[in-house]
Structure formats: structure tokens, C-alpha cells
């Protein structure tokens, strides 16, 4: 029995009189509790109090969402950010083609899987080089990785190519169905090719 219980027992008769209770009735000491009122099931509730279902529109075709931020910082100048956010609706619900591959210094046709022969609405190529397994790579390892630049070419008669440095990615939309060639400028590079349907 704690101090509060002893006080209640000692002054039981006075408490009874103050509460208007009969002296022979026992008093129970309880702890304070938070009472949460619940609606009575018998009482009808108004329609406004009922939870309204959330209507989510399910797209009938696929869509591609792009969120891209390019941030530039130069000493002594204000930073510049270029943001691109858009949603592109596709004409089909066909799945994108994803392939992880290794390219060497020889040109090879980019395999687009089941999208071959059609124009992909968007093409994303990631260069996974530059990701070291150890925390502190050596100077030689960093220099060797920096040389593994992936090269893209859409026109065999053109000397203009797209470069994807290690750790970076390329995103673009070809204007027509074309054979895209890919290679690594030095050695071999691991890449992931993702082609989205039109």
C-alpha cells in the first residue's frame, strides 16, 4: 500500500461524506486513464462523416516519368541548376527492354530485343565503370577507369559520336528507326541498356 492508499483509508469517512456516499461502500483507487469516445453503432452517421474512397486513375497505356536536375557550381559565381520534369504517355502497355552487357573496343550493333525494328520512345544507357570495390582505389585504377568511356554512334558515315563517361548515363529519343552502334573507347565497360516502347 502506497502513501495515497493510506491517506484514503485513513480519511475514508470524510471522503464518503464529501462524495455523498454511504460509509459502508468501499472506495477503489484507480489510475488515471485516457478515455477515447467511440461513436454509438446504433446512431446513424451523416454521409459527410463517412470516409470517402480515393479514386485512382489506372492508365490504359504505359508512361515514362523523368525527373532530372543538372547543377553547376563555379567559384565566385552563383550556382546554376537546370531542371527537367515531364511525363510522356506511350501508345502501348508493352514492357521496356532492359539488358546488362559488356562492350569492348570493337563497334557492335545495339541489341534492342523485342523492340528491334521499331523506334524506341526513349533510350537510356548507363556506364557502370568507376564503381570500385575497395574504398580507396589506387591512382592507376582511377586512371584506368577514367579511360573506359562508352561511345554511341547512329550514323556510320558520321564522325560525331555521343560519349558516356564512367559513372554517367545517356538519355535520348531517336528520330527514326536506326541501327545504333556502341563500343568502349579503351578496354571493356559494363553498361545497362533500357529501351522504352513508343
Residue 104 sits in a domain whose CATH number is 2.60.120.10
pLDDT tens across 79-129, in order?
999 999 999 999 988 999 999 999 999 999 988 888 888 889 999 999 999
191 vs 2: which has the higher pLDDT: 191
Does some domain include residue 154?
yes
pLDDT of residue 29: 45
- Give whole-number Cα distances, 181 to 23, 84, 111, in Å: 99, 27, 9
Residue 43 included in any domain:
no
Would you state the pLDDT for residue 183? 95
User: Are residue 185 and residue 101 in the same domain, yes or no?
Assistant: yes
Does 74 reside within a domain? no
In a domain, 22, yes or no: yes
Instruction: Measure the CA–CA gap between 142 and 145, rounded to whole angstroms.
Output: 5
77/71 Cα distance (integer angstroms):
13
Whether 18 shows a pLDDT value over 90: the answer reads no
The answer on 95 and 26 residing in a single domain is: no
- Residue 69 has a pLDDT of 94
Q: Is residue 146 part of a domain?
A: yes
Together in a domain, 98 and 172 = yes
Give a yes or no: residue 103 inside a domain.
Answer: yes
Q: Which domain holds residue 168?
A: 91-196
Residue 43 pLDDT grade (very low, low, confident, very high; cuts 50, 70, 90): low
Reported as a pLDDT band with limits 50, 70 and 90, residue 5 is: low
User: Which stretch of DSSP H or E encloses residue 103?
Assistant: strand 97-103
C-alpha cell at 198: 513508343
Q: How confident is the model at residue 88, as a pLDDT?
A: 93
Flag whether 119 is in a domain. Answer: yes
Same domain (yes/no): 96, 17: no
As a whole number, the mean pLDDT across the chain is 81
H-run or E-run covering 164: strand 162-164
| Overall domain count for the chain | 2
| Residue 12 pLDDT | 65
Does the structure show a pLDDT above 90 at 184? yes
Amino acid at each position: 500500500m502506497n502513501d495515497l492508499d493510506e491517506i484514503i483509508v485513513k480519511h475514508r469517512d470524510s471522503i464518503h461524506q464529501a462524495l455523498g456516499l454511504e460509509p459502508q461502500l468501499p472506495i477503489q483507487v484507480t489510475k488515471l486513464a485516457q478515455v477515447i469516445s467511440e461513436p454509438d453503432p446504433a446512431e446513424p452517421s451523416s454521409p459527410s462523416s463517412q470516409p470517402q474512397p480515393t479514386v485512382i486513375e489506372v492508365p490504359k497505356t504505359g508512361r515514362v516519368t523523368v525527373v532530372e536536375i543538372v547543377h553547376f557550381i563555379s567559384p565566385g559565381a552563383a550556382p546554376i541548376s537546370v531542371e527537367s520534369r515531364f511525363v510522356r504517355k506511350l501508345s502501348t502497355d508493352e514492357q521496356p527492354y532492359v539488358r546488362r552487357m559488356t562492350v569492348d573496343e570493337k563497334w557492335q550493333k545495339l541489341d534492342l530485343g523485342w523492340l528491334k525494328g521499331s523506334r524506341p520512345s526513349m533510350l537510356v544507357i548507363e556506364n557502370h565503370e568507376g564503381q570500385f570495390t575497395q574504398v580507396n582505389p589506387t591512382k592507376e585504377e582511377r586512371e584506368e577507369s577514367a579511360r573506359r568511356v562508352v561511345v554511341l554512334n547512329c550514323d556510320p558515315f558520321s564522325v560525331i559520336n555521343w560519349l558516356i563517361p564512367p559513372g554517367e548515363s545517356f538519355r535520348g529519343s531517336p528520330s527514326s528507326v536506326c541501327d545504333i552502334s556502341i563500343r568502349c573507347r579503351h578496354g571493356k565497360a559494363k553498361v545497362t541498356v533500357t529501351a522504352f516502347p513508343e
